[in-house]
Amino acid sequence: MSGAPVDMSVRLGPLSLRSPMMVASGTFGFGEEYAPYVDFARLGAVVTKGVTLRPREGNPGPRIHETAAGALNAIGLQNPGVERVIEEKLPPLLAAGVPVIVNIAGEAPEEYVALAERLSGVAGLAALELNVSCPNVTRGGMEFGRDPQVLGDLVRAVRDATPLPLIVKLSPNVSDPVPLAAAALEAGAEILSLINTLLGMAIDPRRRRPKLANCTGGLSGPAIKPVALRMVWQVWRALQPPIIGMGGIMTGEDAAEFMLAGAAAVAVGTASFVDPTSAERVGDELEAFCQSQGLPAVAGLTGALEY
């Protein structure tokens, strides 16, 4: 890349990252399928697929359906459970030279607490991300992320259980994310990530059946970008917390938009299904964008929206 070098490092609450580019939970597995294609060390952090206390098979198929400008998924938190994740999945990722953030989900507060305690014993983890916004499970998931009191109690319990930095991943399936963001921060979360997928549905009119076996699923991809930008901006304007912005990021300019709205870091999700090297490419494009704007440091974009 020609032109003056851009400082791509960012501070994200207690974390110092070499780049704002991250990969979003559930779209990068535990990294193993991506290892041949992606230089993990060029990313700011890798966020794992959602991990639960016990193994989960997830929902029956079909579980993914492509939509106009996006995808609907109802995976249902399929994962091998925390013990196998710790034994088999985390060691290669922790050796890859990139901060590792483990995304956790539970059906009850006690499960989040047990996961946090167990993962606190794993050396080298950068942070935990609490998924309180999964739209595709019958118990737990989104119900923790819709009521500020319930969310605050959950975050406080997890905060007491771990010294690791806590990220709370907020749901877009609420009318106003600000009270939830405030509750999470007050209860001890250092970082917020938003947004998770938007609850949606697709129907096959000839068969008169839903296209997903689960009937409803979570919408992701470019279709949700305007909603995600609006929510990042709303939360930033009200509270100025450290934010990981995501929702439909496909290009460096998309990433710049999220940072202008208030994100300190950004995550690429569905785009990795289209091209496994998306996160690296978006990072390069973001750097080129900063150069074209004469910006010496990418961190200067955060919250710099003029309105």
Count of residues interacting with ligand FMN (CB under 6 A): 27
Binding residue (CB under 6 A) for ligand FMN from 19, 52, 103, 302: 103
214 is an interface residue for ligand FMN by CB under 6 A: no
221 is an interface residue for ligand FMN by CB under 6 A: yes
First to last CA, the chain: 32
Binding residue (CB under 6 A) for ligand FMN from 13, 20, 31, 50: 50
Binders of ligand FMN among 154-183, rule CB under 6 A? 169
106 is an interface residue for ligand FMN by CB under 6 A: no
For residue 145 the two structure tokens come to 């992320």
102 is an interface residue for ligand FMN by CB under 6 A: no
Distances (CA, A) of 35 to 38, 40, 196: 6, 7, 24
- In the block, residue with structure tokens 């890798």: 46
For residue 218 the two structure tokens come to 């979570």
Binding residue (CB under 6 A) for ligand FMN from 76, 135, 165, 248: 248
Q: DSSP assignment of 22-42, as one string? A: EE-TTSSTTSTTTTTT--GGG
- In the block, residue with structure tokens 């007491």: 160
Q: How many CA atoms lie within 13 A of 305 on its CB side?
A: 19
Angle formed at CA 103 by CA 101 and CA 109, multiple of 5 degrees: 130
The string over 120-134, giving b where at least 16 C-beta atoms fall within 10 Å of a residue's C-beta and e elsewhere, is eebeebbbbbbbbbb
27 is an interface residue for ligand FMN by CB under 6 A: yes
**Which residue number places its CB atom closest to ligand FMN?**
26
Site map (CB under 6 A) of ligand FMN, residues 63-92, x = contact: --------x-x-x-x---------------
Rounded to an integer, what distance in angstroms lies between the CA atom of residue 303 and that of residue 168? 20
Binding residue (CB under 6 A) for ligand FMN from 171, 173, 196, 214: 196
Determine the interface stretch with ligand FMN among 22-30, 173-181, 230-238, 292-300 (rule: CB under 6 A).
Answer: 22-30
Determine the interface stretch with ligand FMN among 84-92, 94-102, 208-216, 262-270 (rule: CB under 6 A).
Answer: 262-270
Question: By the criterion CB under 6 A, which residues form the site for ligand FMN?
Answer: 24-27, 49-50, 71, 73, 75, 77, 103, 131, 134, 169, 196-197, 220-221, 224, 246-249, 268-271
